[in-house]
Amino acid sequence: MKVGIGYDIHRLVPNRKLVLGGVAIAFEKGPDSHSDGDVLLHAVTDALLGACGAGDIGQHFPNTDARWKNVESRVFVQRAMDFVREAQCKVGNLDATIFADAPKLAPHLSAMKRNLAEFLQVDESQVNLKAGTNEGCDAIGHGDAIAAQVIVLLV
Ligand code: MG
């Protein structure tokens, strides 16, 4: 068994599309980022890479590389899954929390979960997603940023 953790945060700015867990969410702001800025999938990627002892997302997909400009972050997860397969592992389970005071994420969690199960090639019962707020504290609490943390077990 191998365990990995991942964390990501992006600032929210006007005129950017908000995508979380591969799901497009209608909102007045989106992440200031090189790729599509999907914090959940970035944290998932880091958790998978971490469990494989394969470094981090910045090493494999640097934001200075034009190849990753505006790319859908599912590509990062799918590449990280190559390391999982090379390690002759499968995802046992994944648990994640997304931190956002706005927009409300509860209506979108089931679609994100479905996507994650597909990307990780597991049953939906092996994926758990939670959404929390930062209770009005700091940049997340003021609606200026969104973050995610993830833990994954490989078996
Ligand atoms: Mg990121």
What's the CA gap between 35 and 71, in Å, rounded?
5
Say what the pLDDT of residue 67 is: 86
E runs forming strands in 53-144: 91-99, 127-132
| pLDDT averaged over every residue in the chain | 96
Task: Measure 85 CA to ligand 1 centroid, in angstroms.
Answer: 23
As a whole number of angstroms, the distance between CA 20 and CA 122 comes to: 19
- The conformation of residue 37, written as its DSSP 8-state character, comes to -
Q: Which residue has the higher pLDDT, 66 or 42?
A: 42
> Ramachandran region of residue 117, left (φ > 0), alpha (ψ -120 to 50) or beta?
alpha
Q: Is the pLDDT of residue 65 over 90?
A: no
Residues near ligand 1 ion, CB 5 Å cutoff: 8, 42
106-131 pLDDT, tens digit each: 999 999 999 999 999 999 999 999 99
How far, in Å, is the centroid of ligand 1 from the Cα of 58?
9
The rounded Å distance from CA 42 to ligand 1 centre is 5
Mean pLDDT of 40-62: 96
Residue 66 in this model has a pLDDT that exceeds 90: no
- What is the pTM (predicted TM-score) of this model? 0.97
Structural domains present in the chain: 2-154 (3.30.1330.50)
The pair of structure tokens assigned to 152 is: 């994954």
Cα of 33 to ligand 1 centre, how many Å? Answer: 7
Distance 73 CA to ligand 1 centre (A): 9
Task: Report how far ligand 1's centroid is from the alpha carbon of 136 (Å).
Answer: 22
- The string of pLDDT tens digits covering residues 8-32 is 999 999 999 999 999 999 999 999 9
Greatest Cα-to-Cα distance within the chain, rounded to the nearest angstrom: 43
Q: Which of 100, 132, 131 is closest to 113 using CA atoms?
A: 131
